[in-house]
Structure 1
């Protein structure tokens, strides 16, 4: 009876050690939590001026990740301290480095989603 308990305890210890080893050696996943934030002067957020269906909008984003942009036409982008990729309705992706401001006066892209790197 005691040897059976020892085997069970040893098996449980081995299972625990294996689980701990896997947990410690596997890389942690990246948490992507892009946030739509309030635009404030002096902040280095990603800032996008856009329009769709007769409405205009100015939106700011912070933190790494990807989010839907709803197919709005983008008039201007200020990347702040963020590297950006926008994905347009034509299936193209365009990367814009941080600290850049770009305007699209004649042919604004229709953007489906944005990603802060």
Structure 2
């Protein structure tokens, strides 16, 4: 009975050691975080021209990830070197491929959030 307990204890110790070794040895994956960046001429950032309640805005974004856009109306989207999905306030999602410049003169989408792929 004591020998069996020692074997179980030894097995648990080896399993714990192996798990700890794998935890240290396996590299952590890349974290994705979209960034609101300064719009710089010549940069290939995602650039969104928008308006809400009489205010106009031009915003640029870099890096993969998803962020809130606050329900602003998009007048123009320039994707630069980014593939984009925007999510409108009605629950629809629209993908726009990189190197696309699209304007919405008559029926602009009201964007809830954006995602750079």
TM-score category of the 2 structures, normalised to the smaller one:
0.7 to 0.9
TM-score by length of 1: 0.83
**1:1-117 residue pairs with structure 2 within 5 A?**
11-21=12-22, 28-117=28-117
**Whole-angstrom CA distance in 2 between matches of 1:70 and 1:37:** 17
TM-score by length of 2: 0.83
Q: After the TM superposition, which parts of structure 1 deviate over 4 Å for at least 4 consecutive aligned residues? A: 7-11, 22-25, 27-30
Stretches of structure 2 that go unaligned for 5 or more consecutive residues are 1-7
Stretches of structure 1 that go unaligned for 5 or more consecutive residues are 1-6
Name the Cα RMSD after superposition.
2.8
Per-residue deviation, 1:18: 2.6
